[in-house]
Amino acid sequence: KIFHVITLFPEMFDAITRYGITRRAAEEGRFELHTLNPREFVSNKHRSVDDRPYGGGPGMLMMAEPLAHAIVKAKQSQAQAGALKSRVIHLSPQGRQLTYSVVKEFLEQDESLILLASRYEGVDERLICQYVDEEISIGDYVLSGGELAAMVLIDSMVRHLPGVLGDAGSAQQDSFVDGMLDCPHYTRPEVFEGENVPEVLLSGHHAEIKKWRLKQVLGRTWQRRPDLLAQRQLTEQEARLLAEYQQEQAS
Ligand SMILES: O=C(NCc1ccc(CNCc2ncc[nH]2)cc1)c1csc2nc[nH]c(=O)c12
């Protein structure tokens, strides 16, 4: 998996290349992250990457030309690295909202990604029309630029690459991959500020523990994210466990 990110702030991406699971995945070569700065692609007469909007209005826009050159360079690099397909994604408030199914779609398409993280008020529409395949938003709130969104997208994809998560991690991944919330977790000490760990977890009864955790997953998803539950077919056992949880909540 090769990512090229076009950004005015390449150092921001240290946040995923220098820490934790994504750092190790990069070091182990499970993915590559290359940054390109549009400032390196301005033709010296302009010397600028941004300019005022036609038609007036507040703020500045990113000019098409430096971005176009950066995208062409990224495509060349990916082709040289052996990538068969490159897809250009612009992180933008106007984009399709990122969800697990979008992450899965990108992973399954097995292509290298060129991520455009813009700043200012946005990008000249002609660049988007002629060079961008898809726009992606990470939610309905306003950020200062596309870099954090690009890191969210990369992080959420890298975790699913083979060998990145240990067995524990992949098990954890499974619970969310089901499209449901996680169960509560406990570790030492057995009593914390007067509160105990649920007995079943200390019982060593693996079947009971598995059942208890599934019941918590179903109950908490029902309580906090009924929209996720609605999207999911429950098995006979799951429906029974959820009903038990609901009765316990009612009593
Ligand atoms: O580049 C991003 N944001 C920078 C940014 C923020 C605000 C504006 C100006 N919008 C004016 C407006 N909006 C509605 C009507 N008029 C432009 C660009 C970004 C990338 S992905 C993402 N996902 C969630 N949120 C985000 O901000 C982002």
pLDDT tens across 132-181, in order?
Answer: 999 999 999 999 999 999 999 999 999 999 999 987 666 555 545 578 99
Helices (H), 109-205: 125-131, 147-158, 167-177, 199-202
Distance between alpha carbon 27 and the CA centroid of its chain, in Å? 20
Q: What angle do CA 98, 162, 37 make, to 5 degrees?
A: 55
Structural contact between residues 98 and 85, judged by C-beta atoms closer than 8 angstroms: no
Task: Given the residues 108, 167, 174, 193, select the one marked as catalytic.
Answer: 174
Secondary structure letter of residue 63 according to DSSP: -
To the query of whether residue 188 is one of the catalytic residues in this protein, the response is: no
Task: Given the residues 23, 32, 87, 93, select the one marked as catalytic.
Answer: 93
pLDDT tens column, 48-98: 999 999 999 999 999 999 999 999 999 999 999 999 999 999 999 999 999
To the query of whether residue 93 is one of the catalytic residues in this protein, the response is: yes
Q: Nearest residue CA, atom 13 of ligand 1? A: 93
Prediction ipTM score: 0.96
pTM confidence score: 0.94
151 lines ligand 1 (CB under 6 A): no
